[in-house]
Amino acid sequence: MITKVMSAARNTNPGVVPPWLQGGYPAGPTAALAPVVVGRDAQGRPVTMNLPDGYVDREQARSEAIVEKVRDFYKGIGVTDAEGADPAAAVEFLPGLNNAEYLSGSSDGTEVDHVHIGIDRTTGRSFNDAEEVVAHEWGHRVINRISNASLSMDPRSEDVAIHESLADTFAAAYDGDDWTMGEDLGEPIRDMANPERLGHPGTMAELNDLMRPGTGFTHPIQIGPGRDDVARGVDGAPILVPDWHAVAGVPNKAASLIGDALGRDTMAQIYLKALRDNVRPGQEIAGLAVATMIASRDLFGADSKELRVTMEAWNAVGVLDDIKGRIDARQAAVGARQIASVIGR
């Protein structure tokens, strides 16, 4: 089986899926439509979608062309072939996929290393229309490579929020002109600079509020090929997780503050170094904050504007306050290494 699935573009939490992301595939283009088999239903019967003649081939070619640009971007910020800028991963346009995703792992002994690009069923538009979504998916591959797959892509793990935020951050550096994801498909899927407008938390206080029981923020995790089974813990109760894309709102907002103050190229350098040196599984949002502070200090110095901006960004979203109970926040002003030793990186 495929051991890791990083479904990326779409908000998978029924509790917070924006209305414009719900509903079936629309009527779509009216000219020269022909049924194309895009999958199988639970009974194994073919599911078809009416698509224009040659559409799938054209979108496949577009996906490949965008991936070339995306790979050039990652090379440009210093990502090596071994770190995921190589062309080994396959990109496949799958019209039946109501999402875009990166898959890694093995399936029946075959190594899986694929980016899949689908169609947004609400708008009927290809995710190729939002190039930053492709950059986000490829970003998952880079993150997976650099972290030696230690950062979990298991949907039960909070590591996924870090994975998502890093992928969004690199995708925003690729995009360059806004902090939204998927806006070219219609309404954006995420807004890094203003996550609150999509109902996502923008501060640790808002996140902690949402994580309280009864808010509807957590939802049962789906498993299985048709994603129609609910994962259950040892006690038989459904496993509930928040939407990690939404949790990523907090670190995303910090990244947007860093990018606005220092430029997105510098932001990308800080996050790439953080990922290489100090992002570790299980370290949560505070750990990502510390990793970027260490990276800023190591790249630019303890007295640098870059370190100050990085610290101020995390402070603005309440992360430094959040870990104040464990450390003296003044240590952050002295250097991030001490913090790292306290929270275990």
Q: CA 12 to CA 186: how far, in whole Å? A: 18
**How do the residues of the chain divide into helix, strand and coil, expressed in percent and rounded to 5?**
45, 15, 35
With CB atoms as reference, the residue minimizing the distance to Zn ion is 8
| Residues 6+ positions from 166 with CB-CB distance below 8 Å | 139, 143, 271, 275, 279, 288
Closest CB to Zn ion among residues 8, 313 = 8
Least distance from Zn ion to the Cβ atom of residue 99, Å: 10
Residue selected from 8, 94, 250, 262 as contacting Zn ion according to rule CB under 5 A:
8
- The verdict on 184 binding Zn ion (CB under 5 A) reads no
> Cα–Cα–Cα angle for 164, 197, 130, nearest 5°?
50
Least distance from Zn ion to the Cβ atom of residue 170, Å: 11
Closest CB to Zn ion among residues 100, 320 = 100
Least distance from Zn ion to the Cβ atom of residue 9, Å: 7
Radius of gyration of the chain (CA): 20
Least distance from Zn ion to the Cβ atom of residue 245, Å: 7
Closest CB to Zn ion among residues 102, 300 = 102
Integer CA distances (angstroms), 58 to 34, 38, 61, 93, 333, in order: 15, 16, 5, 9, 53
Integer CA distances (angstroms), 223 to 204, 229, 238, 281, in order: 29, 5, 11, 22
Question: Where does this chain touch Zn ion (CB under 5 A) — which range of 8-16, 127-135, 223-231, 234-242?
Answer: 8-16
Closest CB to Zn ion among residues 171, 286 = 171
Least distance from Zn ion to the Cβ atom of residue 106, Å: 21
By rule CB under 5 A, what count of residues binds Zn ion? 3
Q: CA 104 to CA 102: how far, in whole Å? A: 7
60, burial (CB in 10 Å: exposed 0-12, middle 13-18, buried 19+): middle
Least distance from Zn ion to the Cβ atom of residue 136, Å: 5
Closest CB to Zn ion among residues 155, 318 = 155
Site track 145-164 with Zn ion (rule: CB under 5 A), x = hit: -------------------x
Q: CA 135 to CA 173: how far, in whole Å? A: 9
Least distance from Zn ion to the Cβ atom of residue 241, Å: 15
Closest CB to Zn ion among residues 133, 210 = 133
Give yes or no for a contact between 71 and 65, defined as CB atoms under 8 angstroms apart: no
Closest CB to Zn ion among residues 164, 184 = 164
Positions in 161-180 near Zn ion (CB under 5 A):
164, 167
Least distance from Zn ion to the Cβ atom of residue 181, Å: 9
Q: For residue 232, give the 3-state DSSP assignment.
A: strand
Closest CB to Zn ion among residues 140, 219 = 140
Interface residue list for Zn ion (CB under 5 A): 8, 164, 167
